[in-house]
Structure 1
Amino acid sequence: MLRETTERPQRLRVLGDGAAALSLAMRAGDLASHELTLVRPKGAPTPVDHIWGFWDGPDMPPAVSAACQLARASWDRWAIITADGGVVMQSGTRRYSALHRSAWTRHCETVAQQAGVRSVDEAELGDEGADLVFDSRPPPVPDGIMLQHFIGLEVRSNRPVFDAGTAILMDFRVDQSRGMHFIYLLPFSATEALVESTLFSPDRLEEQFYLDAIADYLGTHYGLHSFDTVRRERGVIPLARLKQRDPKIQGIGGNGGAIRPSSGYAFVFIQKQIDRAITEMRESGHFQVRTPHSAVDLWMDGVLLSVLRHWPERAPDLFLRMGRALDGDEFARFLSGEADWPLRLKVIMAMPKWPFLRGLMRLMAGGSPHHTAAAR
């Protein structure tokens, strides 16, 4: 831990220059006494632009409000669709936003530079000391854990086909033979949308599987058999509680447990993690990063992942039940880590009990959803 003092600026070093490191650097002006340095890791991959989705809300950290201003688009309606039906939820207080990583990076870099944050390559660091080090580099991902893996295409049609007022969070009307699979569609206009083929499973698939799923989906449900591809993105997100990269160095971001295991959402949780650390430092003088997730939410995530891993065919019904049981505000709160016990119980009561009892028994027997082999 670091106790803030007025004797001299405290030297803070952050290993990595991704979303968590830059989000902390952007808050450097809120640290009363500091010298913050970001260290670009040797051999780090070149950043590739992609879109982060998140909900805003009345009690979110200030960085989330800034992100909303930078967002490419936002929606107050979102849908879950299955072969057996669908539900559209709407919120009057929380919007779902799509933020380009590149836009957030530029914003953070600009604000951080104005606050005097340094950025150096690892090879140029030398023997400079630090009072505190945070490690934002990705943690190691064990083989066999559940993954969220996807390929997305930003497509443009020559005719209006999309409902620009409704984001489609999950459309399960696609091939379910390779694990839990859905289309994620963010309509930027009636002719432009990001369309992602997304799976929850331990194994990544060949690229053509995702591309064929997108093409088949657009052709079947939108009559769109020809379109321009404006941009492509792909990603793999571990759906697990991962060990820190180095247990002797405080982790932040994904390396500090910020990724929500059941959904892969991270952006808002990174901002919550940083905001809580800064608030606690102001109150106690200690600068310590903690997980932004409650123990009960992580436990519930574990049971859900066990069900999705072993019985992925249940997924469409489970998420449709959840969407029908909650209104838009409740759904956004639950996925944003802001659920209270009445809301958690509402979700639990909407679920079929036997699959979750079986999933719980697997967990109690030591069959972690993060490490056990796949079984149907």
Structure 2
Amino acid sequence: MPAPRPDLIIVGGGLAGGLAALAASRATPDRSVTVIEPGPIGGNHLWSFFGSDIAGDHRALLDPLVAHSWSGYDVRFPGHRRHLPQPYSTIESEALDRAVRASGAMIVAGRAEHMTPTSVGLSDGTTIHGAAVLDARGLTAPPQGLSCGWQKFVGRAIDVPSGHGVDQPVVMNATVDQRDGYRFIYLLPLSRTRVFVEDTYYSESPELDQAALGRRIDDYARASGWKGAVATREERGVLPVVTGGDFDRFWPANDGVARAGVRAGLFHPLTSYSLPDAVRFAHWLATQAPSGDRLGAATRAYARAHWRRGRFDRMLARMLMKAAEPAQRYRVLERFYRLPAPLIERFYAGQTTLADRVRILAGRPPVSIARAIKAIMEPA
């Protein structure tokens, strides 16, 4: 007998694909969902979010996945330090994997070679047919139709037997050497003796020297006096920082396959931050999106609306990547973190108001005025 056709096939089991599968399965228990992913759902990642990023009626999707929470976080720059009393939480990819498998979604360990709006061909020659296909894979570099810089990172969870002394998350510690672009250390105190350390920097190229960033983390651990420190997990990533582009080239109108996550451009152009958009999209998919072959056009319209809303943030990304010298880019963020806390919260959530945008641009920019004007005037 032929295999039953799932109602939804999700290609890619990262953050966006995993949350979409979880939301769709929970909202309509009789909806059959298949996820095609060669590895564990979520891969090997920690994802964090601010309390104001997620709407109250969307928290039910994330709350069971939260592994760590804090009452606030710190930022550190050469000329400015600040504590922000904003709740901050982290989820682990292992929790997302367990939740998706427990939801009843079918997991297929395979790699997609080609797809149509209703079928997926796998590398082993198998073809899976369904009522709708959702492409939730990551972006290739460079992505078609987008002008990008890149945010690159390596992160390690480190056990420090005597304790690491970090009390609150440090979302940005830019007091470190500014090499090859805006660079900062990100810290998450997972317990008294376990800390997650990520070395991140903004650069023009997508190439990542994982070994070099690993050495930087080792140097930071030694400088922090963490004796006997041992790394227990490592993750890495290369994320686009979008400075401009053409949505119709990025997602041509004749491409009828539905998309989700970064594949649909659903992330913050400047920070590359995708969790809030992944949650919003998963909720929309589960409660409002059409089913069947209408899903492709609906997700494209959803993504186009998001692209339009991101015009201001793409301009800020140009200011960072093009108006500032690489070693001076930290000044843009240092100035930003002097702004009111509610504005900062709305910025990360991708919900800045007109008044926020005026406030962000007010005053003398911490970069060349001529280069700033040129960056502002470029197409977004």
Q: Which TM-score applies when normalising by structure 2?
A: 0.78
- Which residue of structure 1 aligns with residue 88 of structure 2? 96
* Residue 325 (structure 1) shift: 1.2
Q: Is the 8 A contact 1:80 1:168 kept in 2?
A: yes
Task: Output the CA distance in 2 between the equivalents of 1:265 and 1:293.
Answer: 17
1:160-190 CA-partner distances (Å, limit 9, x unpaired): 33232x2101111222131111101111233
- Which residue of structure 2 aligns with residue 372 of structure 1? none
- Which residue of structure 2 aligns with residue 5 of structure 1? none
* Residue 35 (structure 1) shift: 3.5
- Which residue of structure 2 aligns with residue 39 of structure 1? 36
Which segment drifts farther, 331-340 or 120-129? Answer: 120-129
SS of 1:317's equivalent in the other structure is helix
Which segment drifts farther, 77-86 or 126-135? Answer: 126-135
Q: Is the 8 A contact 2:13 2:42 kept in 1?
A: no
Give the paired residue count: 346
Task: Output the CA distance in 1 between the equivalents of 2:70 and 2:370.
Answer: 35
* Residue 63 (structure 1) shift: 5.1
Change (3 A) 1:213 1:340: same
Identity of aligned residues (%): 21
Of the three residues 309, 322, 338, the one matched with 2:351 is 338
Give me the CA root mean square deviation.
3.4
Task: Output the CA distance in 1 between the equivalents of 2:346 and 2:304.
Answer: 14
1:307 aligns with 2:314: no
Q: Is the 8 A contact 1:15 1:136 kept in 2?
A: yes
* Residue 336 (structure 1) shift: 1.4
Change (3 A) 1:11 1:224: closer
Q: Is the 8 A contact 1:244 1:251 kept in 2?
A: no
Task: Output the CA distance in 2 between the equivalents of 1:205 and 1:119.
Answer: 30
1:141 aligns with 2:141: yes
Structure 1, unmatched stretches of 5+, are 1-8, 369-376
Q: Is the 8 A contact 1:174 1:181 kept in 2?
A: yes
1:266 aligns with 2:274: yes
- Which residue of structure 2 aligns with residue 280 of structure 1? 288
Q: Is the 8 A contact 2:42 2:97 kept in 1?
A: no
- Which residue of structure 2 aligns with residue 358 of structure 1? 371
Task: Output the CA distance in 1 between the equivalents of 2:41 and 2:287.
Answer: 33
SS of 1:254's equivalent in the other structure is helix
Structure 2, unmatched stretches of 5+, are 111-121
- Which residue of structure 2 aligns with residue 4 of structure 1? none
Q: Supply the AA of the counterpart residue of 1:306.
A: R
Matches within 5 A, 1:1-376: 11-27=7-23, 28-31=25-28, 34-40=31-37, 48-57=43-52, 60=55, 62=57, 64-91=59-86, 95-111=87-103, 113=104, 117-120=105-108, 121=110, 122=122, 129-142=129-142, 145-164=148-167, 166-203=168-205, 204-220=207-223, 222-224=224-226, 226-240=228-242, 243-244=250-251, 247-281=255-289, 287=295, 288-289=298-299, 290-291=302-303, 294-295=306-307, 297-310=309-322, 311=324, 312-327=326-341, 329-349=342-362, 352=365, 355=368, 358-362=371-375, 364-365=377-378
